[in-house]
Amino acid sequence: MAQSHKIHSGRVRIVELPVTEVHSHGSGDVGSIKTVIVELTTDTGITGWGEASPWPVFTGTAEGNANALSRYFIPAIIGANPFDVEVLLEQAEKNVVHYPEAKAALETALLDIMGRVLGIPIHELLGGCHRDQVRLSFSLANPDFEEDIAKAERLHGDGVKIFKLKTGFKDHAFDLMRLQRLRDKFQDRLDLRIDFNQGMTAHEALPRLRDFESFRLSFIEQPVPRDNLEAMAHFTDVLTTPIMADESVFNPREAFIGAQMRIADIFSLKIMKSGGLRRALNVAAIARSAGIGVYGGCMFETGIAHAAGAHLMAALPELNLGCEFYMATYYLTEDILTEPFPVRNGYVHVPSGPGLGVDVDLARLEKHTAQTLQVH
Ligand code: MG
């Protein structure tokens, strides 16, 4: 009979990491990354890693997620079989509302343990590998646009051909000027998209959005606040450029409503919104049934959450618009993995080793840890 494994203990760390530059968004500025790293250990000595990456203006706080994990979610699974991941996550849903990032971290660590026990990568636990590499998108969000142009040129030389311009944090003329400069400089050698991070009101949005139609954008992301589903549906109806929902679609229920109301042509998938990889697959299944595309989004993450996201990307039946797992390579001053997160020639390469397929550099993790919460 196969050896049994039980969750023996857990550790939760709030980690603060410096970044290379300030990034501005329609919902605020980011000048460093505060994230939550979860470590689960079995009675057989196997460790699984997970990450909860909240953004207070979007999903929640690091402190809230760290406490939810150390006081509720991890104590509830001590002694449990990590292979009961669906049962355990359903209990977590029932026991504590919200905290999708904490639930994603918990699931990632359980899947990491399962993969390490079986000697297979997480995407095989999700049904297999549809693709082993995904085109990378980098987000241009520096208020100093001259620095962004220089960065775009440098990354283009690295093979990065997708750029997402963060819009709506200054004025409309600034957004149009930046798009014109990018198109003038790179013509169609770039795949360009824009993201408002909810930064416009509905009444000001439509005339501005019409001005973007001529820039051949592959999508316009979340122009208005998440609850304004009617405005999202209207833009999707009347604009030629595809509309993408990010903040408006967190979980399968919201995907269902969003598909019914046709609030977008594309949904951004994020494990931090859906509460894990398998819930993100549920969102993707609803999108696919409705003829809505999906995209690989992320929050402000280290290589741990990026790796989890990469396994999700591998397991998606359809994915045409790439993913944005650029933080570990191009945004953090220093990541916490032993080997660099695998980005090469503008592609994210899906890890093929057991579990997450990446390992944590404990010394670097300790160096950036602001607070540790031990469970058992
Ligand atoms: Mg977004």
**What mean pLDDT comes out for the span 316-327?**
96
Distance of alpha carbon 129 from alpha carbon 117, whole angstroms? 19
pLDDT at 2 > cutoff 80:
no
Interval between CA 194 and ligand 1 midpoint (Å): 9
Say what angle helices 85-95 and 277-289 make with each other, to 10 degrees: 90
- 273 as an active site residue: the answer is no
CATH numbers and ranges of domains, the chain: 7-120+361-375 (3.30.390.10), 124-349 (3.20.20.120)
Interval between CA 82 and ligand 1 midpoint (Å): 32
Say what angle helices 277-289 and 303-315 make with each other, to 10 degrees: 40
Interval between CA 195 and ligand 1 midpoint (Å): 6
Distance of alpha carbon 76 from alpha carbon 361, whole angstroms? 28
The share of the chain scoring above pLDDT 70, in percent, equals 100
On whether the pTM is more than 0.85, the answer is: yes
Question: Three-class SS of residue 156?
Answer: helix
| Marked catalytic residue, from 112, 175, 191, 195 | 195
Helix (H) or strand (E) holding 76: helix 74-77
Residues β-bridged to residue 293:
266
- 246 as an active site residue: the answer is yes
Interval between CA 142 and ligand 1 midpoint (Å): 15
Q: How many CB atoms lie within 10 A of CB 103?
A: 27
The overall average pLDDT reported for the chain is 97
Distance of alpha carbon 281 from alpha carbon 271, whole angstroms? 9
| Cα 42 to chain centroid, rounded | 27
| Marked catalytic residue, from 23, 161, 273, 306 | 23
| Marked catalytic residue, from 107, 112, 148, 221 | 221
Interval between CA 298 and ligand 1 midpoint (Å): 8
**What mean pLDDT comes out for the span 252-256?**
98
**What mean pLDDT comes out for the span 259-275?**
98
Q: Give per-residue pLDDT as tens, 231-242.
A: 999 999 999 999
Interval between CA 247 and ligand 1 midpoint (Å): 7
Interval between CA 51 and ligand 1 midpoint (Å): 19
pLDDT at 1 > cutoff 60:
no
Q: Give per-residue pLDDT as tens, 105-163.
A: 999 999 999 999 999 999 999 999 999 999 999 999 999 999 999 999 999 999 999 99
Which residue do the tokens 């990026």 mark?
A: 306
Q: Give per-residue pLDDT as tens, 179-219.
A: 999 999 999 999 999 999 999 999 999 999 999 999 999 99
pLDDT confidence of residue 191: 98
- 221 as an active site residue: the answer is yes
- 132 as an active site residue: the answer is no
| Cα 203 to chain centroid, rounded | 29
Token digits for 360?
A: 């944590």
- 23 as an active site residue: the answer is yes
